[in-house]
């Protein structure tokens, strides 16, 4: 039994080597690295090794700069950010394959399986390393998506084969295929129901989007649904106005494939950190705040508390993006409000003591 487990280990190790060689080959074949060689390669290496980590909000704790999320962050987030059924299928395959390997029941092991497992596990293992840059939300999972769902599909096919073998004498072929179709729809249903907010999915294991927000996770960060604010922007903004962005990705300037309207022409997008530097002379100032709370500072939270939203993008009652009009009075009162917040934070611990 020990020899079989050892053989399985070395097979996975060999597959891991193939995966790493494939990654190295893809890296070396990247045209951008050879345009200005070797300076281009040096610049890329400096960027990878010196750029700051993306802030990660994990169970209410903000990991930013020198603070590093715990090693289990990639693994637990993978479970919480995917529908339960594919996760169960992958766990089922892992347990079943490990049992078969160690008990000697597998006579013709598939050469594809170790490659898929290493393709799935390598991004998570690398992300678990203390010195590896941490990325929040779906960016962490993208490299592992393909192998993960191929493994889930293989396990579903195996279980359905067992089911067919057990009921083929009683259930006719067309009805067996209908059952398979029903299970497939169940797997796809979470993605279908959440459209177009696909990047905001959280498993029922954590209570969905609302549970994730309560337990201290970021929600939307890529700005995929931010364009839903553009119709309101077209009504209230004009050329020369300023749009502050907090925790958001790039704006959609052109009409997208789904037919959303672009932002008004002549609107100037600026980082929200420039809030106090913006002149209000002959212009209006607006702000779009995301639900990437790890990127929202005290000023952004005051906007959410004090200024009503002109428009909001929400999913299941949770705010994803909101559009606010910034007034000169708000900016003038900002230092006093921030000081008041600091005094409250200082007094709260002393009161608890």
Of 299, 292, 235, 296, nearest to 267 by C-alpha is 235
Quote the pTM value.
0.76
Evaluated on CA atoms 70, 76, 78, 82, the torsion sign reads negative
Determine contact, residues 201/194, Cβ cutoff 8 Å. yes
Query: How far are the Cα atoms of 197, 222, 258, 320, 322 from residue 314, in angstroms, in the given order?
Result: 9, 15, 18, 5, 9
- pLDDT tens track for 99-108: 887 776 655 6
Angle at which helices 112-128 and 2-28 cross, to 10°: 70
Higher pLDDT, 168 or 274: 274
Domain parsing of the chain, residue ranges:
2-205, 226-352
For the record, the structure tokens of 170 come out as: 């009683």
Determine contact, residues 244/275, Cβ cutoff 8 Å. yes
Higher pLDDT, 335 or 41: 335
Question: What is the distance between the alpha carbons of residues 230 and 212, in angstroms, rounded to a whole number?
Answer: 27
Q: What is the pLDDT of residue 321?
A: 92
Q: What is the pLDDT of residue 139?
A: 62
- pLDDT tens track for 205-251: 999 999 999 999 988 766 667 888 888 998 999 999 999 998 776 66
For the cut 80, the answer to whether the pLDDT of residue 274 exceeds it is yes
For the cut 60, the answer to whether the pLDDT of residue 350 exceeds it is no
Evaluated on CA atoms 317, 318, 322, 327, the torsion sign reads positive
Mean pLDDT of 70-77: 88
- pLDDT tens track for 296-326: 889 999 999 999 999 999 988 899 999 999 9
């Amino acid at each position: 039994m020990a020899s079989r487990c050892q053989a399985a280990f070395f097979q996975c190790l060999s597959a891991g080597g193939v995966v790493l060689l494939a990654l190295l080959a893809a890296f070396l074949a990247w045209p951008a690295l050879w345009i200005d060689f070797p300076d281009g390669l040096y610049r890329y290496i400096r960027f990878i090794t010196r750029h700051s980590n993306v802030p990660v909000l994990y169970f209410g704790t903000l990991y930013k700069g020198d603070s590093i999320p715990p090693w289990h962050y990639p693994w637990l987030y993978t479970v919480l950010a995917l529908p339960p059924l594919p996760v169960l299928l992958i766990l089922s395959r892992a347990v079943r394959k490990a049992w078969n390997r160690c008990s000697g029941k597998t006579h013709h092991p598939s050469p594809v399986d170790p490659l898929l497992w290493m393709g799935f596990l390598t991004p998570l293992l690398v992300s678990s390393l203390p010195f590896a840059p941490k990325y929040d939300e779906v960016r962490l999972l993208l490299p592992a998506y393909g192998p993960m769902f191929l493994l889930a599909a293989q396990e579903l096919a195996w279980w359905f084969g067992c089911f067919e073998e057990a009921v083929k004498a009683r259930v006719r072929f067309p009805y067996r295929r209908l059952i398979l179709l029903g299970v497939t729809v169940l797997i796809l249903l979470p993605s279908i129901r959440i459209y177009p907010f696909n990047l905001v999915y959280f498993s029922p294991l954590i209570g969905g989007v609302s549970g994730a927000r309560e337990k201290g996770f970021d929600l939307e960060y890529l700005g995929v649904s931010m364009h839903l604010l553009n119709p309101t922007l077209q009504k209230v903004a004009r050329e020369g106005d300023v749009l502050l962005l907090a925790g958001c990705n790039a704006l959609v300037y052109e009409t997208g494939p789904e037919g959303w309207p672009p932002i008004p022409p002549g609107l100037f997008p600026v980082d929200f950190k420039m809030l106090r530097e913006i002149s209000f002379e002959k212009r209006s100032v607006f702000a779009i705040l995301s639900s990437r709370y790890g990127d929202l500072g005290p000023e952004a939270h005051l906007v959410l508390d004090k200024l009503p939203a002109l428009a909001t993008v929400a999913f299941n009652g949770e705010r994803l993006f909101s559009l606010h009009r910034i007034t000169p009075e708000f900016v003038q009162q900002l230092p006093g409000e921030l000081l008041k917040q600091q005094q409250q934070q200082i007094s709260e611990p002393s009161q608890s003591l």
